[in-house]
């Protein structure tokens, strides 16, 4: 029925991570489409279920300790919680143990009045014990919620904070979906564990221990007999647990594969329609979905039988204790009350064991999730600034204690490659005087955007130096450096929020008038006013209700409002029509006054009036000069300008 | 509900057998305490002695093993049925989304669709599984234990009967309070996701404007919100356990009191009392199970609603009304007659206003105009990515609505403004244009698009894997691959929506050249920013603010259309004349 070959099936499963072959450290399974252009790129959001992994954690002890440290700050509360667990477990056990004397009393040889009196006393005591137990149960849960949620808040905060400090390289290598998955899927299972598992494990262990003790107290010979069933239970629990862990990992991978595929196809839905690819895509999805189902059946089956198996093994021990206990009642002086409670214990006995085994699954998946979260947290952040790093500022945006710079930018013998074997820039030497406009032109992939990545230290160079007013940028604090460089990037990125807020992102303390001025410079004011609520119009994620060109204008406005002395425009108007661009020109000129500007553009009309145009090919400067000088040279620039030569 | 019946039908046997097996377990559970009471009453007190006890014991063991078989079987069928149901539903949901029109797609965010296909389906699946395992078991246990209790001792049973309604009321009240809080919690989770996702997508902007602290503050608020809403929801839920335990304890106490008094006066045996106490426990546990089911059910209900919403979405662009489904695009003639269009039906302003246009087969047409003037919107009406609100769009003199969508879209190739390639090799991506194309055809298409050069320069050439960890493609390279992909379709009408904005002038000229030479029979529509891209077109359409303000050749427009000349002069350097 399906037109998909077996080879294709294999490929699909492998590519999206359902087969673990391609599980690398860098978040394996999900291979997003959207080719990453060297600056930026993007992946899609992820659903709450379906991370990668769910694998058996590599170093449980270490991870567990680290996780517990987050709760550890609420030490007092934890003690109270465990205290409550202890009390409620004891009361539970105690209350049930009380049944023995009560029942014995009933069948004893005492007088009716005595019996009744004892009954009343017994009940009152039980009531007291039960009440304590209930209160403690409630208290324990109530406190635990606060503790676990606080821990989660802390972990999330640290994770987010850490992600802000990671170098751009990390973000280029990992899909957003994968990183987000750590906030959602992985932390979800961690939260589950923190909230429920820990107290339950403690309670389970206590209960178990308590039950066993009580069994021995009730009748030690009988208890010994019952203990025979324990190895059986442990073995069964272990077997089932092992199988379910294995299949659970498979299930998670398959879930991740389905998730990855959905993400890619839903995000690229329009292309699918344009190529009438719906049928193929649906068939491919069915393969992944069926694969998931197979893995689910196995995983959930083993997960699901834990309860029935363990629970009914305890029924067996119930039967055993009834039989042997009954016999003991006949041949020895074992009392009926004791028999009653003993049989109860033997039945209750396996509940903690099966609960503990089920908790093990939760624990494993939580630890695996925690590991993935910690993995991100442990990533090397951007190189920290040296202790003596400088802060700089310009005339326009003075800052206390900062060194005044004019905006002279020098590149000396700069050589750089994103990966060691592929050098993108070779021996670049450029000097831009303050206030000059320097343009970069060249064929795609020649290295233009790379230079901008280096100036604001998104990447650090291997060889050579970049200097601002003579200071090596490595000696300037990164945040100071960047706040003095305003960038308009090739990809337009807007935030959900109002138009005003988006523009204000360029300088948080800009006044409303300054925002409007900036919008006017960028020729955005006109279309903003035409929006339903003008500047207060809320933009849907990434400005979906605007055209490409309009979004670029907003980007420019954002840069316009900042007071940075250095400006980088990377294809800032590629989607804006040239007529509008001409109108912007005056505004752009205003934008560039007193700022050292680097412009990258394919459109030669944009670069025409630069103070210097630098022609890059294959990472090297082949020509530089003014527009007129370059034309006169009749070299590369001339060819580009007159459209006479092909480029690749 | 009928709609979902078809997903359950194939698994009907499992749906039936599963719960039945659970009943076996339930029966066993109910029987066991009874057997114990017999041991006490007959075996010990009744003097039937050891043989009787042993017989009872063996019976109990066998019962236990039967129960195990029942429980395991129940689990097996529950998993089988629920996963089958969910799988089929998931596949159909995906299929449904594939039928969505652009307008339908625009309504749902990508993230929301992903959640519905994954998490929401999982919730429903878990719910079904839980239902299967408990739906008969819990009520079964409840009823069974109640019956036993009544049989054993009517008066005592009445005690239990008093507690049940009160307990039910309490649980109901808890759930009612909890449900809206859960809904809120989900919303806050969505908000947290949104903040995180946006931050990740925009990380370069964040870094270059040094807004890390600002972002952290944003996140912190969402973080706190989520915590508060979770705590608020959980605080209500945690009443469940104590309430049920309290009920259990009170009932036990009452039973011990009243029952104890009866035993004292000889109206009841100790054995019966013991069994009774066990049944009380069972009844209350089953009540707790029911409340658990309802609690989880409310979460699953929310998920179900979301799935249903998608399944019920009316597709507003189908070819069901098409009357010429066999027709294919042969010549490539395009006509617009009084076309009006807007994206959001509630907006007052038209995106396209009274468009009238005729494009002859094989013509090369350029469309130019300011940002936001409606160029993309215009061309998207041709392959029916959107439908016109008024007027007609005709291809080969047939209304586009009368073609089958497949034929129409095979005949009209459009390279969208946003370039999307998928995981896979370059060859695989290009073959989206034509699955059956051979390597030669693919290479040729790549050549026309000026992509062959750079692809060959890669070590793996056309087998290069695209995607994370694959080759970094620049914007221009991506665009060219997208063009090649569409070329492979060999469409009669080719539309390029600003598809060379990232490609340098010279390369673009070569692309136009190859179009002119190799695709002379194809009607070509090119939306561009650069005059140079359209200057050689047979016809140039100038648009402004949703209207056509000029049509003609370059020379004609230079004399008649002010907008055009403005654009022209904004680009051309008067000192250098293009050769």
Instruction: Decide: residue A20, CB within 10 A, 0-12 exposed, 13-18 middle, 19+ buried.
Output: middle
Chain B positions touching A576 (Cβ under 8 A) are 371, 529
Instruction: Decide: residue A183, CB within 10 A, 0-12 exposed, 13-18 middle, 19+ buried.
Output: buried
Residue B438 makes CB contacts below 8 A (sequence gap 6+) with none
Distance CA B493, CA B521 (A): 9
Sign of CA dihedral B241, B242, B243, B244: positive
Sign of CA dihedral A69, A71, A76, A78: negative
**Are A549 and A575 a contacting pair, CB within 8 Å?**
yes
Distance from CA of B19 to the nearest CA of A (A): 14
Is the confidence at residue B29, as pLDDT, over 70? Answer: yes
**Are B384 and B408 a contacting pair, CB within 8 Å?**
yes
Q: Which whole number is the average pLDDT over B156-166?
A: 81
Report the residue of A27, A326, A489 to disrupt the B interface, i.e. the one with the largest count of B CBs within 10 Å. Answer: A326
> Whose CA is closest to B170, among B325, B18, B5, B290?
B290
For residue B494, the SS3 value is strand
* DSSP per-residue letters across A460-495: --SEEEEEETTEEGGGB-HHHHHHTEEEE-SS----
Burial A510-537 (b: 16+ CB within 10 A, else e): beeebbbbbbbbbbbbebbeebeeebeb
* Better-scored residue on pLDDT, B480 or A356: B480
Chain A neighbours among B 176-215 (CB < 8 Å)?
189, 192-194, 196-212, 214-215
**Are A102 and B274 a contacting pair, CB within 8 Å?**
no
Of B227, B505, B567, the CB nearest to A153: B227
* Structure confidence by residue, pLDDT tens digits, B77-98: 988 999 999 999 999 999 999 9
* Better-scored residue on pLDDT, B249 or A181: B249
Reduced DSSP (H G I as helix, E B as strand, rest coil) percent helix, strand, coil of chain B, to 5: 65, 10, 25
pLDDT for residue A646: 40
For residue B469, the SS3 value is coil
Within 10 Å of residue A198's Cβ, how many Cβ atoms?
22
How sure is the predictor about B292, in pLDDT bands with cuts at 50, 70 and 90? Answer: confident
Please judge whether B256 and A130 are an interchain contact, meaning their C-beta atoms are less than 8 angstroms apart: no
Residue at token pair 């209750």? A348
Within 10 Å of residue A289's Cβ, how many Cβ atoms?
24
Please judge whether B133 and A304 are an interchain contact, meaning their C-beta atoms are less than 8 angstroms apart: yes
Residue at token pair 């019966």? B272
Of B79, B189, B422, the CB nearest to A304: B79
Q: What are phi and psi of A414, to 5 degrees?
A: -80, 125
Of A103-112, A422-431, B437-446, B455-464, minimum mean pLDDT range: A103-112
Of A290-299, A433-442, B345-354, B553-562, minimum mean pLDDT range: B345-354
Report the residue of B236, B434, B505, B541 to disrupt the A interface, i.e. the one with the largest count of A CBs within 10 Å. Answer: B505
CA-based end-to-end distance of chain A: 43
Is the confidence at residue B214, as pLDDT, over 50? Answer: yes
How sure is the predictor about B396, in pLDDT bands with cuts at 50, 70 and 90? Answer: very high
Distance CA B160, CA B164 (A): 7
**Are B417 and B376 a contacting pair, CB within 8 Å?**
yes
> Whose CA is closest to B392, among B344, B352, B335, B343?
B335
Distance CA A559, CA A492 (A): 12
For residue B52, the SS3 value is helix
Distance from CA of A421 to the nearest CA of B (A): 13
Distance from CA of B354 to the nearest CA of A (A): 21
Q: Which whole number is the average pLDDT over A199-226?
A: 82
Please judge whether B110 and A293 are an interchain contact, meaning their C-beta atoms are less than 8 angstroms apart: no
B270 touches chain A (CB under 8 A): yes
Average pLDDT taken over every residue of chain A: 78
Residue A308 makes CB contacts below 8 A (sequence gap 6+) with B25, B67, B68, B70, B71, B72, B74, B75
Rg of chain B on CA atoms, in Å: 36
Instruction: Decide: residue B216, CB within 10 A, 0-12 exposed, 13-18 middle, 19+ buried.
Output: middle
Tokens of A41: 């790129």
**Are B329 and B522 a contacting pair, CB within 8 Å?**
no
Please judge whether A327 and B53 are an interchain contact, meaning their C-beta atoms are less than 8 angstroms apart: yes
Chain A positions touching B502 (Cβ under 8 A) are 444, 571, 574, 602
When mean pLDDT is compared over A331-340, A404-413, B291-300, B356-365, the highest value belongs to B356-365
Distance CA A322, CA A219 (A): 13
Report the residue of B378, B474, B513, B578 to disrupt the A interface, i.e. the one with the largest count of A CBs within 10 Å. Answer: B474
Is the confidence at residue A52, as pLDDT, over 60? Answer: no
Tokens of A376: 């991100």
* Structure confidence by residue, pLDDT tens digits, A524-562: 898 888 888 889 988 865 555 677 778 888 888 988 888
**Are B332 and B493 a contacting pair, CB within 8 Å?**
yes
**Are A440 and A636 a contacting pair, CB within 8 Å?**
no
Torsion-angle region of B424 (φ positive above 0: left; ψ -120 to 50: alpha; else: beta): left
Half-sphere exposure of B464 (CA within 13 A, CB side): 22
For residue A157, the SS3 value is helix
Quick one: how far is CA B450 from the chain centroid? 37
Sign of CA dihedral B130, B136, B138, B141: negative
pLDDT for residue B573: 53
Tokens of A596: 């050292």
Chain A positions touching B58 (Cβ under 8 A) are 323
Burial A551-570 (b: 16+ CB within 10 A, else e): bbbbbbbbbbbbbbbbbbbb
B463 touches chain A (CB under 8 A): no
Between the alpha carbon of residue B397 and those of residues A417, A583, B409, B439, B538, the distances in Å are: 55, 41, 16, 35, 21
Q: What is the largest CA-CA distance in chain A?
A: 125
Between the alpha carbon of residue A197 and those of residues A65, A307, A363, A368, the distances in Å are: 15, 16, 7, 15
When mean pLDDT is compared over A97-101, A147-151, A300-304, the highest value belongs to A147-151
Sign of CA dihedral A526, A532, A537, A542: negative
Tokens of B114: 């992903």
> Whose CA is closest to A587, among A617, A564, A553, A618?
A553
Between the alpha carbon of residue A111 and those of residues A106, A115, A337, B436, the distances in Å are: 10, 6, 18, 98
Distance CA B420, CA B479 (A): 9
Residue A297 makes CB contacts below 8 A (sequence gap 6+) with B79, B80, B83
Sign of CA dihedral B426, B431, B436, B442: negative
Average pLDDT taken over every residue of chain B: 84
**Are A610 and A438 a contacting pair, CB within 8 Å?**
yes
Q: Which whole number is the average pLDDT over B340-368?
A: 89
Q: What is the largest CA-CA distance in chain B?
A: 123
Q: Which whole number is the average pLDDT over A263-270?
A: 76
pLDDT for residue A350: 65
Of A15, A308, A495, the CB nearest to B25: A308
Burial B510-528 (b: 16+ CB within 10 A, else e): bbbebbeeebeebbbbbbb
Distance CA A518, CA A503 (A): 8
Distance CA B111, CA A181 (A): 12
Distance CA A588, CA A605 (A): 13
B107 touches chain A (CB under 8 A): no
Please judge whether A643 and B578 are an interchain contact, meaning their C-beta atoms are less than 8 angstroms apart: yes
Tokens of A220: 């030690």
Q: What residues does A467 pair with on adjacent strands?
A: A410, A472
B319 touches chain A (CB under 8 A): no
Of A289, A456, A577, the CB nearest to B371: A577
pLDDT for residue B6: 86
Residue of B nearest to A573 (CA): B501
- Calculate helix-pair angle for A198-218, A220-227, nearest 10 degrees: 130
The interface predicted TM-score (ipTM) is: 0.81
How sure is the predictor about B47, in pLDDT bands with cuts at 50, 70 and 90? Answer: confident
Within 10 Å of residue A220's Cβ, how many Cβ atoms?
10
Please judge whether B57 and A323 are an interchain contact, meaning their C-beta atoms are less than 8 angstroms apart: yes
């Amino acid at each position: 029925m399906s037109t998909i070959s077996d080879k294709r099936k294999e490929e699909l499963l492998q590519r999206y991570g359902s087969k673990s072959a391609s599980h690398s450290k860098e978040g394996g399974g999900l291979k997003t489409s959207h080719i990453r252009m060297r600056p930026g790129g993007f992946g899609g959001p992820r659903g709450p279920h379906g991370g990668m992994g769910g694998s058996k954690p590599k170093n449980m002890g270490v991870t567990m300790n680290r996780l517990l440290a987050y709760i550890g700050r609420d030490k007092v509360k934890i003690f109270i919680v465990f205290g409550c667990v202890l009390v409620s477990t004891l009361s539970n056990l105690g209350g049930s143990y009380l049944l023995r004397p009560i029942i014995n009393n009933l069948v004893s040889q005492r007088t009716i009045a005595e019996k009744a009196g004892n009954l009343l006393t017994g009940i009152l005591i039980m009531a007291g014990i039960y009440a304590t137990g209930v209160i403690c149960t409630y208290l324990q849960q109530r406190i635990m919620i606060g503790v676990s949620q606080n821990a989660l808040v802390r972990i999330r905060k640290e994770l987010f904070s850490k992600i802000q400090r990671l170098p751009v390289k990390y973000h280029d290598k990992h899909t957003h979906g994968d990183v987000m998955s750590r906030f959602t899927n992985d932390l979800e299972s961690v939260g589950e564990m923190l909230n429920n598992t820990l107290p339950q494990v403690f309670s389970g262990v206590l209960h178990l221990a308590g039950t066993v003790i009580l069994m021995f107290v009730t009748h030690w010979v009988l208890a010994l007999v019952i203990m025979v069933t324990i190895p059986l239970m442990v073995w069964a629990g272990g077997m089932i647990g092992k199988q379910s862990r294995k299949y659970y990992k498979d299930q998670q991978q398959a879930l991740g594969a389905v998730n990855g595929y959905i993400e890619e196809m839903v995000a690229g839905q329009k292309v699918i329609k344009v190529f009438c690819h719906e049928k193929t895509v649906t068939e491919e999805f069915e393969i992944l979905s069926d694969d998931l189902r197979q893995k689910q059946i196995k995983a959930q089956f083993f997960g699901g039988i834990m309860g029935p198996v363990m629970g009914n093994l305890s029924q067996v021990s119930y039967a055993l204790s009834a039989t042997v206990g009954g016999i003991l009642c006949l041949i020895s002086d074992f009392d009926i009350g004791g028999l009653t409670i003993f049989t109860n214990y033997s039945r209750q006995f396996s509940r903690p064991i099966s609960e503990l085994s089920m908790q093990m699954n939760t624990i494993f998946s939580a630890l695996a999730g925690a590991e993935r979260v910690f993995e991100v947290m442990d990533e090397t952040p951007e190189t920290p600034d040296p202790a003596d790093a400088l802060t700089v500022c310009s005339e326009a945006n003075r800052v206390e204690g900062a060194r005044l710079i004019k905006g002279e930018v020098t590149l000396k013998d700069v050589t750089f490659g994103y990966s060691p074997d592929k050098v993108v820039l070779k021996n670049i030497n450029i000097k831009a005087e303050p206030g000059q406009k320097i343009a970069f032109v060249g064929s795609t992939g020649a290295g233009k955007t790379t230079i901008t990545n280096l100036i604001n230290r998104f990447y650090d160079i291997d060889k050579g130096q970049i200097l601002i007013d003579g200071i090596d940028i490595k000696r300037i604090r990164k945040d100071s450096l960047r706040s003095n460089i305003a960038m308009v990037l090739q990809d337009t990125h807007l935030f959900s929020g109002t138009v005003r807020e988006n523009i204000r992102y360029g300088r948080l303390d800009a006044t409303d008038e300054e925002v409007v001025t900036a919008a006017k410079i960028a020729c955005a004011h006109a279309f903003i006013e035409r929006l339903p609520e003008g500047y207060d119009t809320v933009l849907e994620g990434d400005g979906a209700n605007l055209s490409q060109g309009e979004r670029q204008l907003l980007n420019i406005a954002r840069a316009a409002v900042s007071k940075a002395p250095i400006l980088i425009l990377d294809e800032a108007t590629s989607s804006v029509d040239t007529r509008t661009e001409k109108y912007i020109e005056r505004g752009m000129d205003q934008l560039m006054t007193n700022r050292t500007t680097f412009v990258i553009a394919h459109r030669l009309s944009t670069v025409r009036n630069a103070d210097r145009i630098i022609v890059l090919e294959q990472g090297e400067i082949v020509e530089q000069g003014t527009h007129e000088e370059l034309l006169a040279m009749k070299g590369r620039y001339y060819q580009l300008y007159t459209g006479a030569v092909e480029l690749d | 509900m009928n709609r979902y019946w078809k997903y359950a039908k194939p698994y009907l046997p499992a749906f039936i057998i599963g719960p039945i097996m659970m009943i076996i377990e339930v029966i066993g559970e109910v029987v066991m305490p009874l057997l114990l009471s017999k041991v006490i009453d007959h075996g010990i007190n009744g003097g039937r002695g050891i043989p009787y006890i042993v017989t009872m014991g063996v019976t109990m063991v066998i019962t236990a093993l039967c129960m195990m078989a029942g429980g395991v079987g129940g689990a097996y069928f529950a998993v089988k049925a629920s996963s089958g149901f969910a799988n089929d539903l998931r596949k159909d949901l995906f299929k449904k989304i594939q039928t969505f029109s652009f307008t339908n797609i625009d309504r749902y965010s990508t993230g929301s669709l992903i959640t519905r296909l994954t998490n929401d389906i999982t919730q429903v699946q878990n719910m079904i599984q839980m239902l299967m395992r408990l739906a008969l078991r819990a009520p079964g246990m409840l009823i069974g234990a109640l019956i036993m209790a009544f049989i054993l001792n009517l008066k005592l049973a009445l005690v239990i009967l008093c507690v049940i309604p009160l307990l039910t009321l309490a649980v109901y009240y808890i759930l009612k309070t909890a449900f809206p809080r859960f809904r809120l919690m989900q919303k806050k989770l969505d908000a947290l996701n949104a903040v995180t996702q946006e931050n990740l997508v925009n990380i370069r902007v964040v870094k270059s404007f040094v807004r890390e602290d600002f972002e952290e503050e944003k996140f912190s608020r969402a973080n706190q919100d989520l915590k508060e809403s979770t705590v608020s929801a959980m605080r209500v839920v945690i009443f469940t356990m104590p309430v049920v335990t309290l009920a259990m304890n009170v009932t036990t106490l009452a039973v011990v009191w009243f029952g104890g008094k009866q035993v004292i006066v000889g109206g009841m045996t100790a054995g019966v009392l013991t069994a009774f106490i066990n049944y009380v426990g069972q009844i209350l546990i089953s009540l707790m199970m029911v409340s658990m089911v309802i609690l989880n059910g409310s979460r699953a209900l929310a998920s179900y609603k979301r799935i249903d919403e998608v399944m019920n979405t009316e597709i507003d662009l189908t070819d069901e009304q098409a009357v010429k489904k066999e027709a294919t695009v042969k010549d490539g003639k395009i006509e617009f007659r009084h076309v009006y269009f807007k994206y959001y039906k509630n907006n007052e302003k038209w995106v396209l206003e009274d468009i009238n246009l005729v494009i002859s087969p094989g013509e090369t047409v350029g469309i130019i105009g300011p940002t936001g003037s409606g160029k993309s919107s215009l061309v998207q009406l041709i392959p029916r990515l959107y439908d016109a609100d008024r007027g007609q769009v005709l291809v080969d003199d047939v209304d586009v609505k009368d073609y089958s969508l497949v034929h129409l879209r095979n005949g009209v190739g459009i390279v969208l403004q946003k370039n999307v390639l998928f995981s896979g090799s370059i060859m695989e991506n290009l073959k989206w244009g034509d699955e059956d194309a051979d390597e030669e055809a693919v290479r040729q298409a790549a050549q026309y698009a000026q992509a062959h050069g750079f692809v060959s320069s890669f070590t793996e050439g056309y087998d290069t894997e695209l995607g994370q960890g694959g080759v970094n493609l620049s914007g221009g390279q991506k665009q060219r691959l997208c063009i090649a992909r569409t070329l492979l379709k060999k469409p009669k009408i080719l539309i390029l929506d600003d598809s060379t904005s990232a490609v340098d002038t010279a390369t673009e000229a070569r692309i136009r050249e190859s179009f002119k030479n190799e695709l002379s029979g194809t009607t070509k529509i090119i939306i561009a920013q650069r005059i140079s891209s359209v200057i050689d077109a047979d016809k140039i359409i100038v648009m402004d603010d949703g209207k056509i303000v000029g049509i003609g050749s370059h020379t004609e427009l230079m004399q008649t259309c002010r907008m055009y000349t403005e654009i022209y002069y904004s680009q051309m350097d008067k000192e250098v004349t293009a050769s």
